[in-house]
Amino acid sequence: MRVKWILHPSDPTKNNTFEHVSRELATIAVGYKQAEYAPFTDYRERLAFEESERAKTAPPAADEWGVLELLRDLPKISLKRAVTGETFHYECPPPNCPPTIAHRWQLLVDQHKASEAAPAQKVAAQQQQEARDRADRTKQIVTLMTGRV
């Protein structure tokens, strides 16, 4: 039940304000002349009041940022942003991205590029080693053959 506080029993800052309280508390407060009933004039006023009360108690909407590393489903390193239950994915940091998250994303991208380059370098080194081994074997065979003659 909605009441208008005339003389709030514990919080003087609530004097001359409206509050929705239980029916029992409203009856007692009105009986002690600490409040008066304040019914809503129509449904719009009630809905506006309930929305303002919800806005007072609701936590502020906060951005939650994160960096998603390489996963099976995600072929790239991406950024994740969650705002009031909605999730957004970015391939690169947008302008409103916090600097710490953008820096972390850049480090992971650099690490990923280095790890992609490492296998290619390793394969090239293996091919070079195999070519040297073949050349050495060929020299050994030629040496063995020339030694028999």
Predicted pLDDT at 111: 79
Kindly state whether residues 13 and 50 are assigned to the same domain. Answer: yes
Predicted pLDDT at 71: 57
The residue range of the domain holding 86 is 64-148
Kindly state whether residues 48 and 89 are assigned to the same domain. Answer: no
**Counting beta carbons within 10 angstroms of the beta carbon of residue 35, is it exposed (0 to 12), middle (13 to 18) or buried (19 or more)?**
buried
Predicted pLDDT at 117: 64
Kindly state whether residues 9 and 31 are assigned to the same domain. Answer: yes
Q: In the chain, how many domains are there?
A: 2
Note down pLDDT in tens along the chain; length 149 residues: 899 999 999 999 999 998 889 999 999 999 999 999 999 889 998 899 888 888 777 666 677 888 877 655 555 667 788 777 778 888 888 888 888 888 888 888 887 777 766 666 777 778 888 888 777 776 666 665 565 55
Kindly state whether residues 79 and 134 are assigned to the same domain. Answer: yes
Kindly state whether residues 29 and 82 are assigned to the same domain. Answer: no
Predicted pLDDT at 104: 87
Global pTM reads 0.40
Kindly state whether residues 84 and 137 are assigned to the same domain. Answer: yes
Kindly state whether residues 71 and 90 are assigned to the same domain. Answer: yes
Predicted pLDDT at 26: 93
Kindly state whether residues 27 and 49 are assigned to the same domain. Answer: yes
Predicted pLDDT at 148: 54
